Protein backbone atom coordinates (compact mmCIF):
# COMPACT_ATOMS: atom_id res chain seq x y z
CA UNK A 1 0.00 0.00 0.00
CA UNK A 2 1.15 3.52 -0.84
CA UNK A 3 -0.08 7.06 -0.36
CA UNK A 4 -1.24 9.21 -3.29
CA UNK A 5 2.38 10.25 -3.99
CA UNK A 6 3.74 6.71 -4.09
CA UNK A 7 5.29 6.60 -0.60
CA UNK A 8 5.03 3.16 0.94
CA UNK A 9 3.03 2.49 4.10
CA UNK A 10 4.49 0.44 6.93
CA UNK A 11 2.58 -1.86 9.27
CA UNK A 12 5.72 -3.00 11.12
CA UNK A 13 5.11 -3.23 14.89
CA UNK A 14 8.38 -1.43 15.72
CA UNK A 15 7.51 1.39 13.33
CA UNK A 16 4.11 1.78 15.00
CA UNK A 17 5.71 1.68 18.49
CA UNK A 18 8.32 4.33 17.70
CA UNK A 19 5.79 6.53 15.90
CA UNK A 20 3.70 6.50 19.09
CA UNK A 21 6.78 7.67 20.99
CA UNK A 22 7.36 10.42 18.41
CA UNK A 23 3.73 11.55 18.82
CA UNK A 24 4.25 11.78 22.60
CA UNK A 25 7.33 13.93 21.94
CA UNK A 26 5.35 16.24 19.62
CA UNK A 27 2.88 16.92 22.43
CA UNK A 28 5.77 18.43 24.46
CA UNK A 29 6.38 21.12 21.81
CA UNK A 30 5.33 24.61 22.81
CA UNK A 31 3.34 26.09 19.90
CA UNK A 32 5.04 28.86 17.96
CA UNK A 33 3.30 31.21 15.52
CA UNK A 34 5.17 30.15 12.39
CA UNK A 35 6.45 26.68 13.30
CA UNK A 36 5.01 23.20 13.53
CA UNK A 37 5.08 21.05 16.65
CA UNK A 38 6.84 17.84 15.67
CA UNK A 39 8.19 14.86 17.59
CA UNK A 40 11.00 12.52 16.59
CA UNK A 41 13.00 9.57 17.79
CA UNK A 42 16.17 8.06 16.44
CA UNK A 43 16.71 4.30 16.45
CA UNK A 44 20.03 2.59 15.70
CA UNK A 45 20.50 0.08 12.88
CA UNK A 46 20.30 -2.57 15.64
CA UNK A 47 16.83 -1.37 16.67
CA UNK A 48 17.94 0.41 19.87
CA UNK A 49 16.33 3.73 20.81
CA UNK A 50 19.14 6.31 20.76
CA UNK A 51 17.43 9.67 21.38
CA UNK A 52 14.18 11.56 21.12
CA UNK A 53 13.44 15.18 20.26
CA UNK A 54 10.67 17.70 19.82
CA UNK A 55 10.35 21.08 18.18
CA UNK A 56 12.17 23.86 20.03
CA UNK A 57 13.38 21.46 22.75
CA UNK A 58 16.91 22.86 22.48
CA UNK A 59 17.82 26.56 22.03
CA UNK A 60 18.05 28.06 18.55
CA UNK A 61 14.62 27.43 16.96
CA UNK A 62 15.44 23.73 16.68
CA UNK A 63 13.33 21.12 14.91
CA UNK A 64 12.52 17.69 16.37
CA UNK A 65 14.86 15.69 14.11
CA UNK A 66 17.63 18.22 14.70
CA UNK A 67 17.21 17.88 18.49
CA UNK A 68 17.33 14.08 18.31
CA UNK A 69 20.59 14.27 16.34
CA UNK A 70 22.13 16.98 18.55
CA UNK A 71 21.47 14.88 21.68
CA UNK A 72 23.50 11.92 20.36
CA UNK A 73 26.62 11.26 22.44
CA UNK A 74 28.30 9.66 19.42
CA UNK A 75 27.08 11.00 16.03
CA UNK A 76 28.32 7.80 14.33
CA UNK A 77 25.56 5.83 16.08
CA UNK A 78 22.98 7.37 13.72
CA UNK A 79 24.62 5.75 10.68
CA UNK A 80 22.33 3.10 9.20
CA UNK A 81 19.57 4.00 11.65
CA UNK A 82 15.94 5.06 11.35
CA UNK A 83 14.53 8.52 12.09
CA UNK A 84 10.90 8.49 13.18
CA UNK A 85 9.15 11.83 12.82
CA UNK A 86 5.54 12.91 13.10
CA UNK A 87 5.92 15.19 10.07
CA UNK A 88 7.93 15.06 6.86
CA UNK A 89 11.47 16.33 7.49
CA UNK A 90 11.87 19.92 6.31
CA UNK A 91 13.68 20.74 3.10
CA UNK A 92 13.73 24.51 3.70
CA UNK A 93 14.42 26.47 6.90
CA UNK A 94 13.19 30.05 7.10
CA UNK A 95 15.41 30.54 10.19
CA UNK A 96 18.61 29.88 8.27
CA UNK A 97 19.30 26.62 10.14
CA UNK A 98 20.30 23.52 8.16
CA UNK A 99 17.18 21.70 6.90
CA UNK A 100 16.40 18.42 8.66
CA UNK A 101 16.65 16.52 5.37
CA UNK A 102 20.29 17.62 5.07
CA UNK A 103 20.99 16.68 8.71
CA UNK A 104 19.50 13.21 8.09
CA UNK A 105 21.59 12.76 4.92
CA UNK A 106 24.74 13.96 6.72
CA UNK A 107 24.12 11.50 9.58
CA UNK A 108 23.96 8.54 7.12
CA UNK A 109 20.48 7.58 8.31
CA UNK A 110 19.11 5.02 5.87
CA UNK A 111 15.40 5.01 6.74
CA UNK A 112 12.82 7.64 7.67
CA UNK A 113 9.37 6.76 8.99
CA UNK A 114 6.90 9.64 9.18
CA UNK A 115 3.33 10.24 10.24
CA UNK A 116 2.25 12.92 7.74
CA UNK A 117 3.60 14.98 4.88
CA UNK A 118 4.24 18.61 5.81
CA UNK A 119 1.15 20.71 5.08
CA UNK A 120 1.85 23.56 2.61
CA UNK A 121 0.83 26.26 5.12
CA UNK A 122 4.37 27.63 5.70
CA UNK A 123 6.67 26.38 2.92
CA UNK A 124 6.50 23.93 0.04
CA UNK A 125 8.30 20.91 1.51
CA UNK A 126 10.24 18.52 -0.71
CA UNK A 127 11.61 16.35 2.11
CA UNK A 128 10.47 12.97 0.83
CA UNK A 129 11.78 13.57 -2.70
CA UNK A 130 15.19 14.75 -1.44
CA UNK A 131 15.55 11.80 0.94
CA UNK A 132 14.65 9.31 -1.79
CA UNK A 133 17.09 10.99 -4.21
CA UNK A 134 19.82 10.19 -1.66
CA UNK A 135 18.77 6.52 -1.44
CA UNK A 136 17.01 6.87 1.93
CA UNK A 137 13.91 4.71 2.32
CA UNK A 138 10.81 6.65 3.35
CA UNK A 139 7.70 5.10 4.89
CA UNK A 140 4.43 6.42 6.28
CA UNK A 141 2.63 4.93 9.28
CA UNK A 142 -1.05 4.82 8.26
CA UNK A 143 -3.81 5.92 10.62
CA UNK A 144 -1.79 8.42 12.70
CA UNK A 145 -2.35 11.55 10.60
CA UNK A 146 -4.87 13.11 12.98
CA UNK A 147 -2.63 12.50 16.02
CA UNK A 148 0.39 13.95 14.21
CA UNK A 149 -1.46 17.07 13.13
CA UNK A 150 -3.26 17.65 16.49
CA UNK A 151 -0.39 19.64 18.12
CA UNK A 152 -0.47 21.99 15.12
CA UNK A 153 -4.00 23.38 15.43
CA UNK A 154 -2.46 26.84 15.93
CA UNK A 155 -1.31 26.79 12.28
CA UNK A 156 -3.88 24.50 10.66
CA UNK A 157 -6.98 26.27 12.06
Element (H, E) at 130: helix 127-133
Q: How far apart are CA 129 and CA 118, in angstroms?
A: 12
Closest CA to 145 of 12, 26, 48, 42: 26
If phi > 0 it is left, if psi is from -120 to 50 it is alpha, else beta; for residue 13 that is alpha
Q: Of residues 57, 65, 118, 147, which has the active-site annotation?
A: 65
Contact (Cβ atoms closer than 8 angstroms) between residue 61 and residue 95: yes
Closest CA to 90 of 78, 75, 105, 110: 105
**How far from 117 is each of 86, 87, 141, CA to CA, in Å?**
9, 6, 11
Q: Is 126 part of the annotated catalytic residue set?
A: no
Instruction: Tell me the catalytic residues.
Output: 65
Amino acid sequence: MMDEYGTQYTQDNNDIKYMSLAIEQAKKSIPAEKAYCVGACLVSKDGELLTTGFSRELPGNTHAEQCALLKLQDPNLASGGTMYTTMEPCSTRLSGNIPCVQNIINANITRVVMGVREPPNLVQCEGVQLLEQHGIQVFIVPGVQEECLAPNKHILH
